[in-house]
């Protein structure tokens, strides 16, 4: 009886203690440059996104659109850093509001997507 109880404790302990070892997760946006919802005075040359998990770059993308819905990116998104970073070059941006739409696949095959805006202007 005691042995059986100990086995149960061992199983639960192993599970809980093992959690960080196995941990991967959905990739959420951690922060961005330009910062989410903020206004920058000089037009950025690229958008850089940092995620909470590593990405599969081939299946991850960034779109940036102006207020008319036109794409203002100047190339494809590429991974950087330790594959938690995704960046995309931009055309010259006039003052205005821009929407960043990101879609990523984390290395454990979870899909996530999201969007935010930033402004260029005084």
Partner 1 sequence: MFQNLWPVATLAAVLAISTTLARAHEIVGNRFFPATLTIDDPGVNDELALPTISISKTGDDPSFKQLDVSGELSKRITDAFAVSFSPTWSRLYAPGGPAMTGAQGFQNVETTFKYRVIKNAEHEFIMSVGLSIEWGGSGAQGVGADRFTTYTPSLWFGKGFGDLPSSLDWAKPFAITGQIGYGIPGQSKTTTASIDPDTGEIGIDTEFNPRVFNWGGSLQYSMPYLKSAVVDLGLPDFINRLIPIVEFSMQTPVSNTLTSGTVTTGTISPGLIYVGNTFQFAVEALIPVNRQSGTSVGVIGQLHFFLDDIFPNTIGRPIFASNVSTGNPMFGR
Q: Which stretch binds partner 1 (CB under 8 A): 40-48, 68-76, 85-93, 106-114?
A: 106-114
- 95 part of the interface to partner 1, by CB under 8 A: no
Question: Is the separation of the CB atoms in 104 and 51 below 8 Å?
Answer: yes
- 78 part of the interface to partner 1, by CB under 8 A: no
- 105 part of the interface to partner 1, by CB under 8 A: yes
User: Which residue, 23 or 92, has its beta carbon nearer to partner 1?
Assistant: 23
Query: What does DSSP assign to residue 93?
Result: P
SS3 11: helix
Select the residue interacting with partner 1 from 54, 73, 84, 112 (CB under 8 A).
112
- CA neighbor of 111 nearest in space, from 59, 52, 36, 50: 59
Question: Is the separation of the CB atoms in 62 and 86 below 8 Å?
Answer: yes
- 45 part of the interface to partner 1, by CB under 8 A: no
Q: How far is it, in rounded angstroms, from Cα 63 to Cα 34?
A: 14
Question: Is the separation of the CB atoms in 109 and 25 below 8 Å?
Answer: no
Count of residues in contact with partner 1, rule CB under 8 A: 33
- 59 part of the interface to partner 1, by CB under 8 A: yes
Question: Cβ 37 to partner 1, closest distance in Å?
Answer: 3
Beta-carbon neighbour count of residue 23 at 10 Å? 9
**Which stretches of the chain bind partner 1, using CB under 8 A?**
19-20, 22-26, 28-32, 35-38, 52-53, 56, 59, 61, 103, 105, 108-117
């Amino acid at each position: 009886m005691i042995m059986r109880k100990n086995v149960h404790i061992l199983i639960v302990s192993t599970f809980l203690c093992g959690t960080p070892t196995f941990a991967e997760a959905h990739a959420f946006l951690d922060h961005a440059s330009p910062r989410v919802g903020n206004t920058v005075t000089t037009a950025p040359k690229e958008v850089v996104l940092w995620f909470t998990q590593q990405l599969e770059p081939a299946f991850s993308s960034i779109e940036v659109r102006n207020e008319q819905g036109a794409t203002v990116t100047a190339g494809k998104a590429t991974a950087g850093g330790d594959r938690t970073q995704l960046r995309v070059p931009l055309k010259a941006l006039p003052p205005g509001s821009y929407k960043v739409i990101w879609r990523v696949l984390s290395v454990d095959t979870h899909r996530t997507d999201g969007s935010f805006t930033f402004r260029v202007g005084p």
